[in-house]
Amino acid sequence: MKVRQGFVSNSSASSFCIFGTYLEGKGYEEIEELLDGTSLYYSSGGEYSCGMYVGREFQTIKDDETGKQFKDSTEKLLKEKFGNKTKCSIIKREWHD
């Protein structure tokens, strides 16, 4: 039996992990316009979804920023853009083709 120990180059998966929210009924054009000039990331909800995931990627945490500050500033920005009822959480998604 042969065991592969290297990187599998023919894998077709995409994934992300953000602190943010899912916005039902929002499209790329609307999201791009609202997020222009911000540090927010967005991605479609998937092939059968009619919404978008929006938030900050964890690699954008600044050196002098605590986890709480990161979450608070992200939630504040999302509430400014999408309304005070916006609820944030850690979102992890992965799709395979």
What is the pLDDT, as a whole number, of residue 34? 85
Q: Give the integer Cα–Cα distance in Å for 88 and 18.
A: 10
The full DSSP string for 2-27 is ----S--TT--EEEEEEEEEEEET--
Tens place of pLDDT per residue across the chain (97 aa): 445 455 555 555 667 889 999 988 777 788 888 888 888 988 876 666 678 889 999 999 999 999 999 999 999 999 998 888 889 999 988 766 5
Q: What is the pTM of this model?
A: 0.74
What is d(CA 30, CA 33) in angstroms, rounded to the nearest whole number? 5
16-96 classified as CATH 3.40.1000: no
Q: What pLDDT is recorded for position 2? A: 46
Nearest residue to 78 (alpha-carbon basis) of 54, 53, 59, 60? 54
